[in-house]
Amino acid sequence: MITNTELEYKGDLYPTKIVDFKKEVDSVYFYTDNNVILKVTVLRDSLIRFRYTTKGYFSKDFSYAIDKKQSHGYNFLEVTEDINCYNIQTNKVICKVQKEDLRILITDLNGHSILEDELGFHWEESYHFGGNIVKMSKASKDGESFYGLGDKATQMNLKGKRVENFATDQYAFHKDQEPLYKVVPFYIGLQNNHSYGVFFDNTFKSTFDFCHERRNVTSFWAEGGEMNYYFIYGPQMQDVVTTYTHLTGKPELPPLWALGYHQCKWSYFPESKVKEVTSKFRELKIPCDAIYLDIDYMEGFRCFTWSKEYFPDPKRMVAELAEDGFKTIVIIDPGIKIDKDYWVYKEALEKDYFCKRADGPYMKGKVWPGECNFPDYTNPEVREWWADLFKELISDIGVKGVWNDMNEPAVMDVPGKTFPMDVRHDYDGNPCSHRKAHNIYGTQMARATYHGVKRFAYPKRPFVITRSAYSGAQRYTSSWTGDNVASWEHLWIANIQAQRMSISGMGFTGSDIGGFAEQPTGELYARWIQLGVFHPFCRTHSSGDHGDQEPWSFDEEVINITRKFVEMRYQLLPYLYTMFWEYINDGVPMLKPLVYYDQADHHTQYRNDEFIFGNQILVCPILEPNAMGRRMYLPSGNWYNYWTNELVAGKRELWVQTDFDQIPIFVKEGAIIPKYPIQQYVGELEFEEITLDVYFKNGKEKSVLYEDAQDGYDYNKGRFSLATFNLTGKDTELIIKQHKEGKFDTNYTNFKINFHGLPFKVKKIMIDKEQITISKASIATKSFIVDKNFTEIHIIGI
Ligand code: GLC
């Protein structure tokens, strides 16, 4: 019997020889004998776009991922021709286009091959849907490694893996499960110390195969749309990631409180329960800045309503929580209950804002409220309407952040767990089916939410978190990794997901600490908190099905560990905020996998666990029960053990002994780490001084401290304070020079300087060339107070 697929499959088609070419400003067009056009656009010397059509013309160019604000510009562009190829040369790379078959080879200026087509672009016509299944294959050299791809729950190095990009509500997913909630069709290749990136900007379901099917071939394909990808040259991984993040956009700074600790559960209700939880945090003195209301705060799960029974006066409650330093964050899902007496439903119906099936009926599906219709967030008018719906929540009630969930979009009790593929979308004036819009539905919802929250929170900064996301979503929202499980394996996954998201441009991410499904042991919870405080987004969340997951649900020891690590996060807030500032300015990922930190060191290429938090703190979580420490890899450089101050040389594997209330943490020699006093929430205390922990180095190291008003937009007008510390250490001398920029004057007046690892006895301290008297106490504790505006500290020792 002949199957459908056999009937449909007419075989792969390939471009034939180039018959014409034309250069237009930054683009070069190649025309083949069989109607294929390749448009090569040079956006930067190290960023080149490849766009193919098989129709003989290009359709309208549109992308949700690319940041319209990104700047272009190259220093050099020249096209030459030889017998076999056209050569497009920039200041960084040469792109050879083969005349015979349109295949591409990209080399650096020394002729070192970076990315080479195997079969190159090919396609299969789609009988069912029209258009093509578009395919690409690249030759992969031995020893090549692959990274990126967003939230994949698999080893850091994707070599040998095949992954699928189709946003999916994957409850209690497991290691290697595919696909997951997010779609980031961007990978980084690393071979022979050269990094490059490929961003396949295609929203259809796509697959990437990293030498899984064939040992020396990497390929990617999508079920529709265009072969449209960006090549990014390194040679350092940092160059690849920052260029990708520049292309798809950076967020604004979050309010500082959003970097505090968040507490969540499905669900805290009624009001008295919420208050019980928040009071307990204050009583136990575990810092916390945000409390979440999951779906039960609503009236019958109707978005933008409140249950009168559980929350009779939300405005008062939110204000009282705010008095105590808690910001209230509420969940909003996309499904709008079909209910003729429900105002949101009525409005959307009147305005015709719900998604429709191909033949006209509204898309109907079951979610928490029962049968729902779903706004088409790909329609700009719908996004505007949606944004306005937040007026009451934000302006009147005082909610500070919004949590968007189920936006893959998730539909219950149906095969595929989502919309049928015939559902229609506006796609910002490029009408299409759900096949094309599925992967960006969640991002467009989060985008509309972000605009709404921002509109009504202004002049304060908005906070939005989403479960589903496509490349570029980082411009609008933070994210979490979805419904994980309280298991040791999931702790391993969470660690990798946060690092992977970070180098995939979407750094403001965290996992449900402790696990969403099932119940963690106290030990697992403690180990998870110890890792979670080093993730940019830090929230405990659980399904609540199996008991409680507040720190006090566990024994005294776990409560103390939780407090200790959350306190550490609050002390490190200025360091974390500075990391965030580097991310929003330069696209630098906040968490750096070891391979990112030192790609030249082969040992880093398969490391999963250790990562650099910011630039100078190395964290290695403990991922097994009953551990008294662990084996780990310390990358190049010299590192101080955070707990013992012992200086350890890197580029080697070692055993690190730790107690239960510790994980291996190392500080780079020469680092100056800023710390705030412990507060129960951001802004609780006004302080006179902050601490600078100075880790001696015989040599030079630069550290940075970014601060501003911690909320609002004045930082865009220059009201920030950027301090650069240049440390130079010698045998019996240490010099710290401070350079300050920006118009913001911090509230505190002094720095308390703490020395770690000073190899000499202090004889004399000069501040701005004047000698200060040193008390015995400060010699003993190796610490002293200095005016925050110092320009030079000079320590002379014997
Ligand atoms: C989904 C979310 C989870 C939330 C639950 C109820 O499972 O992923 O975080 O608690 O829905 O809203």
Q: What DSSP string describes 687-703?
A: -SEEEEEEE--SSEEEE
Q: What is the pLDDT of residues 190-238, one digit of tens each?
A: 999 999 999 999 999 999 999 999 999 999 999 999 999 999 999 999 9
Contacts of 113 (CB under 8 A, 6+ apart): 105, 106, 107, 141
Q: What is the pLDDT of residues 759-791, one digit of tens each?
A: 999 999 999 999 888 777 677 778 899 999 999
Q: Which of 579, 605, 638 is the last residue of a domain?
A: 579
For residue 271, tell me if it sits in a domain.
Answer: yes
**pLDDT of res. 505:** 98
**Does residue 405 have its Cβ closer than 6 Å to ligand 1?**
yes
Quick one: pLDDT band at residue 70, thresholds 50, 70, 90?
A: confident
Which of 408, 701, 707, 708 is flagged as catalytic?
A: 408
**Segments forming the whole domain that contains residue 170:** 18-234
Q: What is the pLDDT of residues 688-720, one digit of tens each?
A: 999 999 999 999 999 999 999 999 999 999 999
CA of 266 to the centre of ligand 1 (A): 7
**pLDDT of res. 772:** 86
The two three-digit tokens of residue 666, written as one number: 């190392």
223 and 275 fall within a common domain: no
CA of 477 to the centre of ligand 1 (A): 17
Distance of CA 179 to the CA centre of its chain: 18
CA of 586 to the centre of ligand 1 (A): 33
Task: Classify 282 as helix, strand or coil.
Answer: helix
Quick one: pLDDT band at residue 6, thresholds 50, 70, 90?
A: very low
529 and 563 fall within a common domain: yes
| Burial annotation 339-360 (CB, 10 A radius, 16+ → b, else e) | beebebbeebbeeebbbbeeee
Q: What is the pLDDT of residues 109-159, one digit of tens each?
A: 999 999 999 999 999 999 999 999 999 999 999 999 999 999 999 999 999
Q: Is 278 exposed, middle or buried (0-12, 13-18, 19+ CB in 10 A)?
A: buried
Asked if pLDDT for residue 102 goes beyond 70, the answer is: yes
23 and 157 fall within a common domain: yes
| Distance from C-alpha of 773 to C-alpha of 785, rounded to nearest angstrom | 11
Quick one: pLDDT band at residue 614, thresholds 50, 70, 90?
A: very high
CA of 400 to the centre of ligand 1 (A): 19
For residue 5, tell me if it sits in a domain.
Answer: no
Is the preceding omega at residue 179 within 30 degrees of 0, hence cis? yes
**Does residue 467 have its Cβ closer than 6 Å to ligand 1?**
yes
**pLDDT of res. 5:** 47
**Cα dihedral angle (599, 604, 610, 614), rounded to 10 degrees?**
-10
Rg (C-alpha) for the chain, rounded Å, is 27
CA of 387 to the centre of ligand 1 (A): 22
621: closest CA among 709, 511, 697? 511
Specify whether 745 is catalytic. Answer: no
**Does residue 99 have its Cβ closer than 6 Å to ligand 1?**
no
403 and 325 fall within a common domain: yes
Whole-number percent of the chain with pLDDT over 70: 99
Segment 305-315 shows an average pLDDT of 98
| Burial annotation 135-151 (CB, 10 A radius, 16+ → b, else e) | bbbbbbeeebbbbbbbb
Q: Where are the alpha helices (H) located in 533-649, listed in sequence order?
A: 556-571, 573-586, 594-597
Asked if pLDDT for residue 667 goes beyond 90, the answer is: yes
**Does residue 151 have its Cβ closer than 6 Å to ligand 1?**
no
Segment 32-48 shows an average pLDDT of 98
Q: How many CB atoms lie within 10 A of CB 328?
A: 23
Quick one: pLDDT band at residue 545, thresholds 50, 70, 90?
A: confident
Q: Find out whether 738 and 792 touch, Cβ atoms under 8 Å.
A: yes
196 and 326 fall within a common domain: no
Asked if pLDDT for residue 2 goes beyond 70, the answer is: no
723 and 751 fall within a common domain: yes
Q: Find out whether 182 and 479 touch, Cβ atoms under 8 Å.
A: yes
Q: How many domains does the chain have?
A: 4
Quick one: pLDDT band at residue 71, thresholds 50, 70, 90?
A: confident
Specify whether 483 is catalytic. Answer: yes
Q: What is the CATH number of the domain that holds 91?
A: 2.60.40.1760
| Distance from C-alpha of 617 to C-alpha of 619, rounded to nearest angstrom | 6
Segment 16-20 shows an average pLDDT of 98
Quick one: pLDDT band at residue 1, thresholds 50, 70, 90?
A: very low
Whole-number percent of the chain with pLDDT over 90: 95
Quick one: pLDDT band at residue 636, thresholds 50, 70, 90?
A: very high
657: closest CA among 634, 630, 625, 689? 630
What's the length of the chain? 798
Q: Find out whether 13 and 21 touch, Cβ atoms under 8 Å.
A: no
67 and 195 fall within a common domain: yes
Task: Classify 1 as helix, strand or coil.
Answer: coil
To test the pocket of ligand 1, the residue of 516, 541, 545 to mutate (highest count of ligand atoms within 8 Å of its CB) is 516
**pLDDT of res. 221:** 98
Eight-state DSSP code of residue 709? -
**Does residue 693 have its Cβ closer than 6 Å to ligand 1?**
no
Q: What is the pLDDT of residues 417-455, one digit of tens each?
A: 999 999 999 999 999 999 999 999 999 999 999 999 999
545 and 569 fall within a common domain: yes
**pLDDT of res. 527:** 98
Helix (H) or strand (E) holding 672: strand 672-675
Compute the Cα dihedral for 254, 257, 262, 264 and give only its sign. negative
Q: Which of 559, 579, 599 is the last residue of a domain?
A: 579
**Does residue 483 have its Cβ closer than 6 Å to ligand 1?**
yes
Asked if pLDDT for residue 7 goes beyond 90, the answer is: no
Segment 386-414 shows an average pLDDT of 98
51 and 176 fall within a common domain: yes
For residue 4, tell me if it sits in a domain.
Answer: no
Which of 271, 426, 483, 693 is flagged as catalytic?
A: 483
**Does residue 482 have its Cβ closer than 6 Å to ligand 1?**
yes
Q: What is the rounded average pLDDT for all residues in the chain?
A: 96
**Cα dihedral angle (274, 280, 282, 288), rounded to 10 degrees?**
-60
**pLDDT of res. 72:** 84
93 beta partners: 108
Q: Where are the alpha helices (H) located in 389-521, listed in sequence order?
A: 434-457, 488-503
Segment 567-589 shows an average pLDDT of 98
Specify whether 408 is catalytic. Answer: yes
276 and 197 fall within a common domain: no
547 and 398 fall within a common domain: yes
| Distance from C-alpha of 614 to C-alpha of 627, rounded to nearest angstrom | 26
Task: Classify 564 as helix, strand or coil.
Answer: helix
Q: What is the CATH number of the domain that holds 728?
A: 2.60.40.1180
Q: Which of 216, 234, 252 is the last residue of a domain?
A: 234
Segment 652-670 shows an average pLDDT of 98
158: closest CA among 606, 591, 602? 606
Q: Where are the alpha helices (H) located in 324-379, listed in sequence order?
A: 343-351
